[in-house]
Amino acid sequence: LLDRARIAHGRPLSNSEANHVKKEYIDKLMAQREATAKKARQVKKQQAYKPDENSTFSWSATTQTRGRR
């Protein structure tokens, strides 16, 4: 990536130019990671457990272990 920028400029890159190229690349990568994470969150939300609203008794209800006091 830095080599391509150096060849495009036709001279060695300054620190500022090299850092600018790196920063653009990192920003692009982070945008891609954020997009994939967003898709993963949507899929996870769609596949989340949905309790049956028609049932009268819930087997997954939390019961107090010590009972009522």
List, in order, residues 6 or more apart from 49 with CB less than 8 Å away: none
Residues 9, 38: Cα–Cα separation, whole Å: 37
Sequence-ordered alpha helix ranges (H) in 1-69 = 2-9, 15-46
The boundaries of the domain holding residue 22 are 2-46
Residue 64 lies in a domain: no
pLDDT in tens, 26-53: 999 999 999 999 999 999 988 877 766 6
Give domain status of residue 54, yes or no. Answer: no
* 29 within some domain: yes
pLDDT of residue 43: 92
63 has pLDDT over 90: no
pTM greater than 0.85: no
When the pLDDT of each residue in the chain is averaged and rounded to a whole number, the result is 85
